[in-house]
């Protein structure tokens, strides 16, 4: 793993209730990091890092759900022979064809490419993360997503599935290079395992975006003037005034 060089101290200004977590995918065993001493699902690993407060890594043996398949840790993949009936039995899908179709939206890392996954709370992070996972309130998430679009104009996109959302959060961003987010409480597995309370925002920032978002957080105004105006009517008037000023500027260059 590459030693951490990016200054991530700006994230401490959010005062998150649940600390951000850096995630690294590795073919080789991480050095100087303890192995997880229990079994958890992939969707629970970020919460474990937050609660533990120290870095750890896990292998396929410690992941007790289907996350290890999405991470490419299963060399001998189990055959999908249920015809989508598992989702029907769980009463998540009307018929097997719906479950089978959903599977086409769930990406996986190349089989055998990842043997170890390391996680660390951001204040203990010593390696450059492949992903930065952040649990935020909607107001905090608004700032983070605005930091993505601030210098790029990038569109906000949310991608998730009722099952296998761990792939959407921890594999899809890594493979696609796109920031992904979803409200907590929408995923069957995460809800069943009581991972996070409903109504928070879980944001996954891939390594391609970490430098841009981090720099923009340092540069931009976190609370735009329009958010600080007292009433709806005052906001509308202020917005109209800015529009008039721009029109005037264009007429008098």
Measure CA 247 to chain center.
Answer: 40
Predicted confidence at residue 78, as pLDDT, reads 56
How many other C-beta atoms lie within 10 A of the C-beta of residue 158? 14
Grouping H, G, I as helix, E, B as strand and the rest as coil, residue 102 is helix
Assess if residue 62 is contained within a domain.
yes
Assigned domain for 233 exists: no
- Residue 90 belongs to some domain of the structure: yes
Q: Give the pLDDT score at 208.
A: 97
The number of folded domains in the chain is 1
Residue 234 counted as domain residue: no
What is the domain range of residue 126? Answer: 9-222
Whole-angstrom Cα distance, residue 253 to residue 242? 16
In three-state secondary structure terms, 187 is: coil
**pTM of the model as a whole:** 0.92
127-179 pLDDT, tens digit per residue, is 999 999 999 999 999 999 999 999 999 999 999 999 999 999 999 999 999 99
Evaluate whether residue 242 is within a structural domain: no
pLDDT tens, residue by residue, 69-107: 999 997 665 555 577 888 888 898 899 889 889 888 899
Encoded tokens for 161: 């599935």
- Residues 189-224 have pLDDT tens digits of 999 999 999 999 999 999 999 999 999 999 999 999
23 by Cβ neighbours in 10 Å (0-12 / 13-18 / 19+) ranks as: buried
In a domain? residue 154: yes
Residues 112, 132: Cα–Cα separation, whole Å: 23
Q: Would 98 be classed as within a structural domain?
A: yes
CA-nearest of 1, 55, 54 to 25 is 1
Tell me, yes or no, whether 238 lies in a domain: no
């Amino acid at each position: 793993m590459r030693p951490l060089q990016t200054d991530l101290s700006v994230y401490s200004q959010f005062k998150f209730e649940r600390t951000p977590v850096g995630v690294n995918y590795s073919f080789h065993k991480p050095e100087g990091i303890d192995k997880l001493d229990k079994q958890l699902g992939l969707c629970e690993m970020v919460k474990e890092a937050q609660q533990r407060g120290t870095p750890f890594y896990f292998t396929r043996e410690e992941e007790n759900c289907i996350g290890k398949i999405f991470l490419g840790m299963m060399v001998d993949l189990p055959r999908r022979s249920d015809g989508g009936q598992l989702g029907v039995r769980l009463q998540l899908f009307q018929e097997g064809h719906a479950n089978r179709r959903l599977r086409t939206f769930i990406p996986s890392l190349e089989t055998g490419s990842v043997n170890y996954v390391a996680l660390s709370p951001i204040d203990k992070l010593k390696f450059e993360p492949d992903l930065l996972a952040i649990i935020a309130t909607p107001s905090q998430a608004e700032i983070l997503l605005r930091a993505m679009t601030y210098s790029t104009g990038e569109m906000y996109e949310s991608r998730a599935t009722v099952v296998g959302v761990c792939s959407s959060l921890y594999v899809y961003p890594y493979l696609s290079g796109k920031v992904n987010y979803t409200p907590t409480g929408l995923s069957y597995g995460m809800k069943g395992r009581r991972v996070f309370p409903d109504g928070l925002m879980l944001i996954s920032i891939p390594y391609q975006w970490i430098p841009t978002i981090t720099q923009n957080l340092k540069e931009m105004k976190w609370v735009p003037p329009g958010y600080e105006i007292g009433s709806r009517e005052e906001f509308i008037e202020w917005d109209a005034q800015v529009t008039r000023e721009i029109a005037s500027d264009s007429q008098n260059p």
